[in-house]
Structure 1
Amino acid sequence: MGRARIALLSNPRSTGNIAQLPRVRAYCAAHPDIFHYEVERVDQIGEALRTIARIKPAMLVINGGDGTVQAALTELHNGGHFGENPPPVAVLPSGKTNLIALDLGSHGDPVAAFERLVAIAQGNLAAHLVPRELIALRHGDGLGQPVIGMFLGGAGLADTMLYCRNKIYPLGLPNGVSHVLAAIALVVRQLFGLKLSFLPPAPSQLSVSVRIDGKLSGKFTLLLVTTLEKLLLTSDVGEASRGRLRLIAVEQRPFLLIRAFIASLLGKLSRGHIDGVHLEGSDEISIEGDASDVILDGETFRAEIGSPITLRPTLPLSFVRLAA
């Protein structure tokens, strides 16, 4: 058998894989040029990548949710298993949110997306590669290895994401319905200021320092930092920003989030257009809060006074983008 063109790293516990993994396994069994490695815990990803590095694949495909992708990217960045030449990374839409997969044009049926990646690997792979800088997150004193990801949600956004995870997902509803219900709950709490157990909590005080433009302080309905091109609310922050980390912050005011959303639909959400909506770019962002949670690709961290969360961009990594 020749060199494996594709290495597939699967997490059977990801939501989409519960139903789809038997099809994925059957497909891999019929294609001997695919090396398939399954993990059931994120602490097994290091050993998985050490093994995968031995076969020197032309492409690494991650089959799991955003949390699985985040753990694999962290290991790729910190582990050094592939030396200075890690393979391009592709992501299948196999989790509940799939923000990273969507940014790379991967959506719908995971097996169909994988078949397209296999076809791409046999041809001119370079034509489908895009560079992506990643977010390196350090907590507290900043020592030790960073956690690597591509999408960070904080303030009311993180509270709503946790609310959806803990209160709505257990109901067993389809993902789309769950996300709509969480959004409705956020809007109801935002508009009426209700403090009820079945609604997301009100955001706590949060301070965000952006190296270029100074400091933002207050309570925010939405705080988002990402390197992704397809962003929540807007796609034009990349033009407005002057750094590789893109930040959107919407202050906690009645109707402001709705105004920002409508402005984004009309293509009018840009720097300085709406008072209380901040679009910034920086090479370093610090977040400090009164026991406020932030979520990086599914993993939760707590920003506390005196123990800030610091975000910096990494060197670019090549990803495989499917045609939208």
Structure 2
Amino acid sequence: MQPALIHNPNSRKNAQDHGQFVRMARRKMGDFCVSALNDSHLPAHLTDLKNKGVDLIAISGGDGTVSACLTTIANIYHDVPLPAVAILPSGNTNLIAGDVGFGLHGAEAIDRLLRPEGLRSCIRTPIRLSWPEDERPSVLGMFGGCTGYARAVRIAHSPSVLKFAPHDLAVFFTLFSSMASLLFRRSRESWMRGDELLWSAKNGAVTGTEADDRSFLFMATALEKLSHGIWPFWNATSDVNDGFRFLNVKAFPKNLLGACFNLLRGQAPDWLRSHEDYVSAVAKEMLLKTDSNFVLDGEVFPASVGGHIKLEEGPAFRFVYV
């Protein structure tokens, strides 16, 4: 395999080391180490790497960098097999690395990438986010959501939260700690009534439609685990596992604190699985209509004029790790 590294100098950890990691990587990898100051530079960089025969791409950055790289890799390598991917976490949020991270850091990681024989691997299929009525290009990502999740991300991105909360837990910390706001009438009404959301989900030949018009919380993921045992998803039909997972919590949900207590521990008891206010399943494709922004891997995408959003399975990537 021919490895290469895409380095985001603006990610939190990379910005803090004053360029030490990328200088070391360049000494070891030469022109196969690329520092991308902006996502707009990725197509040119990846076209060059493709022409050089690169079939293993390490990404040093956070979730937003990984999402941008996966999107561009899929576009550039559309006519050949996709390269394997290794994640070296260094961003504000590193949920993706918690599931498919490479497992080594610094010089040790670079040395192992240069000797890729014997690396283990797993397959993940990112979610493709698109806007059917807009001309903006689709993007790939591994974890996202709207309604209450988008609200939580907006709060979690504030400096006061990022200063005190662990970076990979900032969004979940904000989301579930916001339950304290339910003690106060004004904030309780605002959070509980949620945002507009109509959705339909398709898995193979089966399509399900949700008729309720408001959602307290919507999340979806292509990952198979999150940090610290948190897992707010389950599958209503155990024989269907091919696709991405989603959770929708209706506006004014009953027994919300009990649901949060269980999902923070990665548990979904029978009462939660059968509760009409909480719907979780696996889908290959979803159509949403919402007035909420959609957040994918920490990046905020404004709602379209008509509010329509499409989520579907993207191309399968092979993630390598030690």
Q: TM-score range by the shorter chain?
A: 0.7 to 0.9
2:308 match: 308
| CA contact 1:155–1:222 (8 Å) conserved in 2 | yes
Q: Which amino acid counterpart does residue 75 of structure 1 have in structure 2?
A: T
* CA distance in 2 between partners of 1:239 and 1:6 (Å): 40
* Distance of aligned partners of 1:219 and 1:166 in 2 relative to their CA distance in 1, 3 Å threshold: farther
Shift of 1:45: 0.9
* CA distance in 2 between partners of 1:118 and 1:292 (Å): 44
| CA contact 2:9–2:19 (8 Å) conserved in 1 | no
| CA contact 2:217–2:250 (8 Å) conserved in 1 | yes
Tell me the alpha carbon deviations over residues 164-221 of structure 1, each in whole angstroms, 9 at most, x when there is no partner: 114635x74454485576246521224444439xx97963221122132222534333
Kindly report which structure 2 residues correspond to 1:191-270, keeping only aligned pairs within 5 A, or say none.
Answer: 191-195=183-187, 203-211=194-202, 212-231=207-226, 232-234=230-232, 236-237=234-235, 240=238, 241-253=240-252, 256-264=255-263, 265=265, 267-269=267-269
Shift of 1:101: 1.1
* CA distance in 2 between partners of 1:151 and 1:31 (Å): 33
Query: RCO greater where, 1 or 2, for CA within 8 Å and sep 6 or more?
Result: 2
Q: Which amino acid counterpart does residue 139 of structure 2 have in structure 1?
A: V
Shift of 1:36: 1.1
State the SS of the aligned residue for 1:57.
coil
Please provide the CA RMSD for this pair. 3.2
1:295 match: 295
Shift of 1:21: 5.5
State the SS of the aligned residue for 1:205.
strand
2:179 match: 187
For residue 44 of structure 1, the aligned residue among 34, 41, 45 is: 41
State the SS of the aligned residue for 2:19.
helix
- TM-score under structure 2 normalisation? 0.82
| CA contact 1:221–1:250 (8 Å) conserved in 2 | yes
| CA contact 2:152–2:171 (8 Å) conserved in 1 | no
Q: Which moved more, 1:135-144 or 1:10-19?
A: 135-144
Shift of 1:243: 4.5
Shift of 1:298: 2.3
Tell me how many residue pairs correspond in the alignment. 310
Kindly report which structure 2 residues correspond to 1:104-253, keeping only aligned pairs within 5 A, or say none.
Answer: 104-106=100-102, 110-111=105-106, 115-116=108-109, 118-119=111-112, 121-125=114-118, 127-141=119-133, 145-166=137-158, 168=160, 172-173=163-164, 175-176=166-167, 178-179=170-171, 182-183=174-175, 185-195=177-187, 203-211=194-202, 212-231=207-226, 232-234=230-232, 236-237=234-235, 240=238, 241-253=240-252
Unpaired runs of 5+ in structure 1? none
| CA contact 1:234–1:269 (8 Å) conserved in 2 | no
* CA distance in 2 between partners of 1:9 and 1:213 (Å): 40
Tell me the alpha carbon deviations over residues 91-110 of structure 1, each in whole angstroms, 9 at most, x when there is no partner: 11111111111111457x84
Q: Which moved more, 1:114-123 or 1:312-321?
A: 114-123
State the SS of the aligned residue for 1:213.
strand
2:68 match: 71
Shift of 1:229: 0.7
Percent identity, please. Answer: 24
- TM-score under structure 1 normalisation? 0.81
2:320 match: 320
